[in-house]
Structure 1
Amino acid sequence: MSAAPATAAAAPIAPLPEPAAARPAGIATMVGSGLSNQVGAALGALAFPVLGPVGVVAIRQYVAALALLAVGRPRLRAFTAEQWRPVALLALVLGTMNLSLYTAIDRVGLGLAVTLEFLGPLAVALAASRRRVDAVCAVVAGAGVVTLMRPQPSADPLGMGLGLLAAVCWASYILLNRTVGRRVPGAQGTAAAAALSALVFLPVGVVVMVRQPPTAGAVGYAVAAGILASAVPYLADVFTLRRVSAQAFGLFMSVNPALAALVGRIVLGQHLGVVEWAAIGAIVTANALSILAPRR
């Protein structure tokens, strides 16, 4: 998720039949989850001048681990070697995904960074399909990426490269989460991976705090990022997937890059040009078309 683990793309919970009255609640939860995710990332960016992206990610990992451990309650001592292997890989992916995304946000802005990261789940979805419409969607999304990464005086190749690394990590998260879901019951695997990732970032956080003592405001922004961009979206996704179809959920998830651009403008004052908005629109449209097109 955008700045958060993509629970939507790999959630094992199938939507249950619900009365029509439950759908507004599901839609409201999706809206709240998307806004929470992007506002959390924006608040984390406000702490960059003091903590830097590494410090913010470290604190976010701690908060996310506490939240997921409370929900998943993994029985770590009962894990076998076959279970620990994908969990350890998932922990590595989680840390790398958040670090690369937040560093990209620091360099190219929230809207562009989240849009590039979103290419990960889009690529997984398109690669698994053999429909002609998905080939068209891939071309449209590719055109959007080329437009975003076109050479220009203000371009930041490293920031864009980190956004693409976050996309690779998000795609890897989806595939690994499927394996973890098959080998570890419930949310125990994801919770264990989050805890392991937090342990890896523990010395990193200590070094950052010692080298540059943080202010209370910066720590508050980083903690808010962990809550709003990790804990809230995870719990909201579990709630939402019981009330709306997977198709509707995926369609709304595709709007996250546009939400990120709007939040970046309002909270961080990051403005995008017409061309960048058009590129974001192309990527969002490609995902929407892929979801809405009829399947055999």
Structure 2
Amino acid sequence: MSRLNLDTRGALATMAASAASNQAGAALGARAFGTLGPAGVVAVRQFVAAAVLLPVARPNLRRFTWAQWWPTLLLGVVFAIMNLSLYTAIDRVGLGLAVTLEFLGPLAVALAGSRTGPDLACALVAGAGVYVLVLPGPSSDYLGVGMGLLAAACWAGYILLNRLLGARLPGLQAPAAATAVSATLYLPVAVVLFLQGRFGLAGLGFAIGTGVLCSVVPYAADLVALRRVPPRFFGLLQSIHPVFAAAAGAVILGQVPAPHVWVGIAVVVATNATAAGLAAARAARLPAPVPAT
């Protein structure tokens, strides 16, 4: 077996571990909802992420220009809303369904603006998958579903803002600064919870575990993986998140998905993998840039 194959397999294993860590962390966070609520768990998660990312990235905030600040501030707001809406959805409709709905965000970005037949077919199949996943009816929790879709919209915004900031700030400076912005927005939540005496040892421990498993571990693992595999593989492997979320919900929270939920998850995951593959194929066909002379 060649060294390249070993490196690629190692990177794929790292990405799978990152996804498992992310979803296990979300499940741990749900264990703290009873004492801290979704907003409290998000607050602690953002504090942990900021405490790790700021010393690592060391963004020089005083030297940021307005062209760098405005998308950073917007990304911080997106972080704040995305995490709160996702955790609210998890609290109401379960981990597997919430994460699968959130996953529609990157799928929408992959399909946006495309008019090709295969991409339009992917959009239709994804819509059918969501219908099967939710099976709307009188007992459906539409607020929980809506929160999952809001998280999806925020994830799409996160992708677009990250692309913009990637060209304006080096390394992890943008996500580090944006995480600090989001953590600042959650300071009032932490103060209220502290005054109410709700920072119990168990709930705080679960929330800190969420911050480590959902932010620290995935950031480090994804950075390692992206150095070893092409971006198209990275996009394809993100499709495993809803599956891992459903598994974490079943094992850690006892949320065993109904058969139709598993079918919907499978349809959305397969659609996303197909859309990512089509996007990678199109990118491979683009002519290489002509070097400047």
What is the aligned partner in structure 1 of residue 261 from structure 2? 276
What is the aligned partner in structure 1 of residue 141 from structure 2? 156
User: Identity of paired residues, percent?
Assistant: 55
2:10 and 2:234 mapped to 1: Cα distance?
Answer: 13
Which of 134, 151, 156 is equivalent to 1:171? 156
1:96 and 1:56 mapped to 2: Cα distance?
Answer: 13
- Do 2:133 and 2:263's aligned partners in 1 also have CA atoms closer than 8 Å? no
- Do 1:91 and 1:196's aligned partners in 2 also have CA atoms closer than 8 Å? yes
What is the aligned partner in structure 1 of residue 183 from structure 2? 198
- Do 2:133 and 2:262's aligned partners in 1 also have CA atoms closer than 8 Å? no
5+ unaligned residues in a row in structure 1: which ranges? 1-17
Does residue 1:101 correspond to 2:86, yes or no?
A: yes
1:292 and 1:125 mapped to 2: Cα distance?
Answer: 10
Does residue 1:110 correspond to 2:83, yes or no?
A: no
**What's the secondary structure of 1:272's corresponding residue?**
coil
1:196 and 1:218 mapped to 2: Cα distance?
Answer: 24
1:239-283: CA deviation from partner (whole Å, max 9, x where unpaired):
001112222211110111111001100100001111111111110
* TM-score normalised to structure 1 length: 0.91
What is the aligned partner in structure 2 of residue 15 from structure 1? none
Amino acid at match of 2:117: R
Q: Displacement, 1:196? A: 1.1
1:117-151: CA deviation from partner (whole Å, max 9, x where unpaired):
00001100011534321111111111111223332
Over the aligned positions, Cα root-mean-square deviation in angstroms equals 1.4
What is the aligned partner in structure 1 of residue 217 from structure 2? 232
Amino acid at match of 1:129: S
5+ unaligned residues in a row in structure 2: which ranges? 286-293
Q: Displacement, 1:209? A: 2.2
1:32 and 1:71 mapped to 2: Cα distance?
Answer: 22
1:209 and 1:58 mapped to 2: Cα distance?
Answer: 12
Aligned length: 279
2:52 and 2:99 mapped to 1: Cα distance?
Answer: 23
What is the aligned partner in structure 1 of residue 5 from structure 2? 20
**What's the secondary structure of 2:167's corresponding residue?**
helix
- Do 1:48 and 1:56's aligned partners in 2 also have CA atoms closer than 8 Å? yes
Does residue 1:56 correspond to 2:56, yes or no?
A: no
Pick the structure with greater CA Rg: 2
* TM-score normalised to structure 2 length: 0.92
